[in-house]
Amino acid sequence: MQRLLGRLTALYRTTAVRLSAVYLLLFAACAAFLVFYVSSMSERLLQQQMHEAVAQEAGQIERIFDNSGMNGLLRTLERRARQPGANLYIIASPSGEVLAGNVAAIQPGVLDTEGWTDTPFRYQRYQEEARGTSRPMAYAQVIVLSNGLRVLVGRDLGEPETFRNLVRQALMVALGVMGVGALAIWYLIGRNALKRMDRMSDASQRIMAGDLSQRLPTSGSGDEFDRLSESLNTMLGRIEKLNEGLKQVSDNIAHDLKTPLTRLRNKAEAALAAGDVAEHRTALEEMIGESDQLIRTFNALLMISRVEAGQAPAEMSAVDISGIAHDSAELYEPVAEDAGLGLVTEIADGIEIKGNRELVGQALGNLIDNAIKYAEGSGGEPEIRVSLARRGGDVVLSVADSGPGVPGDKREEVVKRFVRLDASRSKPGTGLGLSLVGAVMEMHHGRLELDATHPGRENNRGLTVRMVFPVLPD
Amino acid sequence: MKILIVEDDLEAAAYLSKAFREAGIVLDHASDGESGLFLATENSYDVLVIDRMLPRRDGLSLITELRRRNIHTPVLILSALGQVDDRVTGLRAGGDDYLPKPYAFSELLARIEVLGRRKGTPEQDMVYRVGDLELDRLSHTVKRAGKEILLQPREFRLLEYLMKNAGQVVTRTMLLENVWDYHFDPQTNVIDVHVSRLRSKIEKDFDQPLLRTVRGAGYMMKDEAAG
């Protein structure tokens, strides 16, 4: 019992049930209004009909009396009175004494006034007198014949009353059926909704318990529950991805920052052991350099996570990407030249994208920097190519080198934070350059493509990195 | 030079006080926004160094209030936020320079010296001179000892910035910001390569060096002969 009550309370709390309760009430009120309206209208109609019938009969009685005298009238009335459901007839003397008719008793005073009785009156027929049933009600018209006799013609009110009762009964039955039906439907709908909500909250419980791979159930019907579940699932996917990134980053930070910190500590220790001031100085300078590198790594990390958090859309504006390409190429050209590499540009002018100049500039800088680092002394063509062109609806900014390249199966890997291929471990760098480029591309709703510059070659396939910016509608 | 540092991290403030005093800079310290506002209004400073996140009144509102009160002392904003648009909001609020934490002290010092000196020197100087080197901003010509030196447009801007701040240390980041208008960490030695090219052009045929490398900090344009 208690359980059932609990379930009903829970049901009542669901929106669907509350809503249908409101609807039911509204509907019942409308139905009641309609039924009462119909019944009162038809009652009025019946009453009017009765009036007309009585008035007609009274007229007939007058005519019969005029044509065939008292005897004819009595004959006619006797015949009519015997018919089933007959009207009421009374013939009375001018003083009010009942002379003939089919009524045994009548409310006193009814016969005294000529014309319509104002209110219904009580009466009793002969047959009913014997049975002792309650006295029914009637309406009547009293006419005075030319010889002074009074004639009452009346009609029983039973018929409209029965009709009214019938209509009311029908209404009650209808309301009853409606109520039961609504309860049943509520229960089914509400329970269904409740079950789905329960499943959803179960799933959320599991997610809260730490299993981020859980997803909310969908029924596949595409209704509002499904839509809610789907958008929550998308959100969960994003959270999971961010969470994974976070985990990966903290793992990598722990691993990759331990090395320079250890180095820093060793240097301090060694300097402490050495007594010479000049040695101290050198050690301190080295330690500052080491710390700067660490700070640089942290800054790069922070930058990436900020860009990845996808904020600052306000900082996106129309930027001259051709200008950025020219500037960056010019900035790195001397470095390339010092490394024995030519920096060739193929930059289409006047291209604009919606973006952040700083970030695109830094991303391109990272790519050129990487290209110089890996192509230097690799034995390929000593050339780095920076190109900017439209491709279909996209704007493609690419940097191609002739270095050792990145094997196909590692291309996705190298974009991740701190991932450096074994071959590149000897080169300086934080392992974060491409990650930043990837994050910048994501912020610009674009993508990063990695490819071999010379796919056919064995050793110096080279790497081409393309930043593909979609042209966004304003 | 006298500066005011508004910084709620007392340890950082103590370290900065010591370091600035060693660099010959007189320093006042306020540890919250309201007392910072009071000091900056009551006293006269050459530069204000204001942390963005402060108790009682945040850094940006402090700067806005100072500017409203017609105090135009140069302001350098320090910020641990370092979000992509932080610099923009900081400069929009009335800051003159912006340095994200963590920073190298040499970087902070160089920027403060440039800001503090900015007040005195007219920007309208059409010709910059360091020793026998002469840069004409109007005709875009550079001469040393009367002999014209041909420079690329970017090299010209690099030299212009260095000469404008002659006698001051200019860091690599400052150069990237002011000559290339990029605000990121240049990572490798890009700036060094540009500077060494410029140096070879202006010093190649002359004995007297003018462009000095300041170890651990950056570069300085200085007429060594003049002392």
- Of A281, A308, A335, the last residue of a domain is A308
* Apex A382 CA angle, A379 and A387, nearest 5: 130
**pLDDT number for residue A268:** 85
Q: State whether B183 and A296 contact (CB < 8 Å).
A: no
The pLDDT of residue B76? 92
Domain that includes residue A304, residue range: 224-308
Phi then psi for residue A319, to 5 deg, are -125, 150
For residue A197, what is the domain's CATH number?
3.30.450.20
Would you say residue A84 lies in a domain?
yes
User: Other C-beta atoms within 10 Å of A6: how many?
Assistant: 10
Closest residue in B to A356 (Cα) is: B84
B68-81 burial, b at 16+ Cβ within 10 Å, e below that, comes to: eeebebbbbbbbee
Task: Please check whether residues A254 and A304 belong to one and the same domain.
Answer: yes
Of A227-236, A453-462, B12-21, give the lowest mean pLDDT range: A453-462
CB contact under 8 A, B189 and A335: yes
Tell me if A203 sits within 8 A of A217, measured CB to CB.
Answer: yes
Structure confidence at residue B156 (pLDDT):
92
Task: Tell me how far apart the alpha carbons of residues A196 and A201 are, in angstroms, rounded to a whole number.
Answer: 9
Whether A55 and A186 map to the same domain: the answer is yes
| pLDDT for residue A447 | 87
Looking at the structure, do residues A61 and A194 belong to the same domain, yes or no?
yes
Tell me, yes or no, whether A71 lies in a domain: yes
**Pairwise CA distance, residues B81 & A351, whole Å:** 33
More confident residue, A447 or A432: A447
Question: Hey, are the CB atoms on B83 and A330 less than 8 Å from each other?
Answer: no
Q: What is the model's pLDDT at position A426?
A: 63
Contact B154 A330 (CB under 8 A): yes
Q: Which residue of A has its CA nearest to B175?
A: A331
In 3D space, the residue among B6, B75, B78, B17 whose CA is nearest the CA of residue B46 turns out to be: B75
How many helices (DSSP H) and strands (DSSP E) are in chain A? 9, 14
Selected for mutation to probe chain A from B103, B173, B190, B215 (highest A CB count within 10 Å) is B190
pLDDT score, position A472: 62
pLDDT at B227 over 60: no
Nearest to A315 among B85, B184, B193 (CB): B85
pLDDT band, residue B219 (cuts 50/70/90)? very high
pLDDT value at position B162? 92
Determine the Cα angle at A70 with ends A68 and A73, to 5°: 70
pLDDT (0 to 100) of residue B31: 87
**Domain assignment of residue A236, yes or no:** yes
pLDDT at B121: 57
Question: B4 and B40 in contact (C-beta within 8 Å)?
Answer: yes
List, in sequence order, every residue forming a beta bridge with B51; answer none if it has no partner. B78
Is residue A321 domain-shared with residue A253, that is, in the same domain?
no
Among A292, A308, A324, the domain-final residue is: A308
- pLDDT per residue as tens digits for the range A79-114: 887 777 778 888 888 777 777 777 777 777 777 777
How confident is the model at residue B120, as a pLDDT? 52
Q: CB distance from B11 to chain A under 8 Å? A: no
Residues A57, A172 share a domain: yes
Question: Could you give the CA distance from residue A65 to residue A69 in angstroms, rounded to a whole number?
Answer: 5
Helix H or strand E segment including A37: helix A15-82
**Predicted confidence band at A65 (pLDDT cuts at 50, 70, 90)?**
confident
Least confident of A282-291, A418-427, B169-178: A418-427
ipTM: 0.80
Same domain, A318 and A302: no
- Average pLDDT of the segment spanning B89-110: 84
A5-32 average pLDDT score: 75
Tell me the per-residue pLDDT of A38-59, one tens digit each, with 9 for 90 and over.
878 887 888 888 888 888 888 8
pLDDT band, very low/low/confident/very high, at A156 (cuts 50, 70, 90): confident
Q: Which of A194 and A200 is assigned the larger pLDDT?
A: A200
Order the strands of the B127-130 sheet from edge to edge. Answer: B127-130, B133-136, B141-144, B147-149
Strand, coil or helix: A317: strand
Same domain, yes or no: A181 and A229: no
> Taking residues B107-128, what's their average pLDDT?
77
Q: Which domains does chain B have, with CATH numbers?
A: 2-118 (3.40.50.2300), 127-226 (1.10.10.10)
A341 assigned to some structural domain: yes
- C-beta separation of A432 from A300 below 8 A: yes
Q: Which residues lie below 8 Å from residue B138, measured CB to CB, with a gap of 6+?
A: B126
Whole-angstrom distance, CA of residue A361 vs CA of residue A88: 109
Confidence of residue B118 (pLDDT cuts 50, 70, 90): low
Give residue B75's pLDDT: 92
Q: Could you tell me if residue A213 is inside a domain? A: no
State residue A129's pLDDT score. 55
Do A319 and A303 lie in one domain? The reply is no
Give A-chain residues touching B85 at CB under 8 angstroms: 312, 314-315
The least confident of A325-339, A452-466, B139-153 is: A452-466
Going by pLDDT thresholds of 50, 70 and 90, the confidence category of residue B137 is confident
> Domain check: are A147 and A239 in the same one?
no
A212 part of a folded domain: no
Closest CB from A288, A303, A330 relative to B216 = A288
In the numeric block, the tokens 């400069």 are attached to B91
Res. A146: pLDDT tops 70: yes
Q: What pLDDT score was predicted for residue B83?
A: 60
Q: How many separate domains does chain A show?
A: 3
Which pLDDT score is estimated for B124? 67
Dist CA B183 CA B178 (whole Å): 9
The residues near B11 (Cβ < 8 Å, ≥ 6 apart) are none
Is the pLDDT score of A428 beyond 80? no
Q: Are residues A332 and A229 in the same domain?
A: no
**Is A366 in Cβ contact with B190 (below 8 Å)?**
no
Residues in chain B: 227
φ, ψ (nearest 5 deg) of residue A103: -115, 130
Shared-domain flag, residues A328 and A342 = yes
Which single residue is written with the structure tokens 């006080």?
B17
On whether the CB atoms of residues B193 and A338 are closer than 8 A, the answer is yes
Rounded Cα distance between B57 and A106, Å, is 99
Contact B94, B75 (CB under 8 A): yes
* pLDDT greater than 60 at residue A131: no
Cα–Cα distances (Å) from B42 to A256, A352, B94, in that order, read: 49, 49, 19
Q: What's the mean pLDDT when you consider all of chain A?
A: 80
> Whole-prediction pTM value?
0.61
Last residue of a domain, one of A207, A240, A272: A207
Q: Which amino acid is at B28?
A: D
> Mean pLDDT across the stretch A116-136?
67
Residue A217 lies in a domain: no
Say if residue A331 is in the same domain as residue A288. no
Residue B83 to residue A306, Cβ atoms within 8 A: yes
Neighbouring residues of A188: CB distance < 8 A, sequence distance ≥ 6: none
Backbone angles phi, psi at A3, to 5 degrees: -65, -45
Helix (H) or strand (E) holding A153: strand A150-156
Q: Which of A332, A334, A361 faces B197 most closely, judged by CB atoms?
A: A334
Q: Tell me whether B80 touches chain A (CB under 8 Å).
A: no
**Residue A190 belongs to a domain:** yes
Output the domain CATH number for residue A385. Answer: 3.30.565.10
Q: What percent of chain A has pLDDT over 70?
A: 90
Tell me the C-alpha distance between A314 and A308, whole Å: 15
Tokens 């002290």 label which residue?
A: B105
